[in-house]
Structure 1
């Protein structure tokens, strides 16, 4: 397993979702479980709090984004996440 670089800030993952969304809750729970093994910051943004986000994502939530790139949507995808965390695949 790779050792995290202490001089590099942890990766920030963003979940775009909304309240009362069971898929959003499931994705957040899966990511929180991973936080015990991988260093990353998790931000959760309610798309309904901003009209631009609501227009952009509509009903296509949750959406997981890392460094501005969509990783997966609707369901947590461990294969897609493994691409951004090579040590997760091991």
Structure 2
């Protein structure tokens, strides 16, 4: 099963928007979404990587490494390409 990780912040409206835009895709594609608050749940290493990019969406197929799909806004073209791989 595909899994997505959304690096987010509690006060980030772009993060809320990306999550809401991602949810309808679950009707067509089976996947799990894990939301990680960079300020309270992430390691210092992840915070250093993604701090200025939130929201950041990573996708991971079973048995594969996670790959960054988009940041700031949901990129529907890149998301569809991820599903079609």
Q: Does 1:52 align with 2:45?
A: yes
If the length of structure 1 is used for normalisation, what is the TM-score? 0.79
**1:9-34 C-alpha deviation (Å, 9 max, x unpaired):** x1001111111101100110011121
Q: Does 1:38 align with 2:36?
A: no
Any idea what SS the aligned residue of 1:85 has? Answer: helix
Question: Take 1:22 and 1:52, find their aligned partners in 2: how far apart are those partners?
Answer: 24
Measured in 2, the distance between the counterparts of 1:81 and 1:40 equals: 12
1:76 maps to 2:74: yes
Q: Could you list the runs of 5+ residues in structure 1 that have no partner in the other structure?
A: 1-9
Post-superposition CA distance 1:22-55 (Å, at most 9, x none): 1100110011121122111111111112322221
**Alignment RMSD (CA, Å):** 1.1
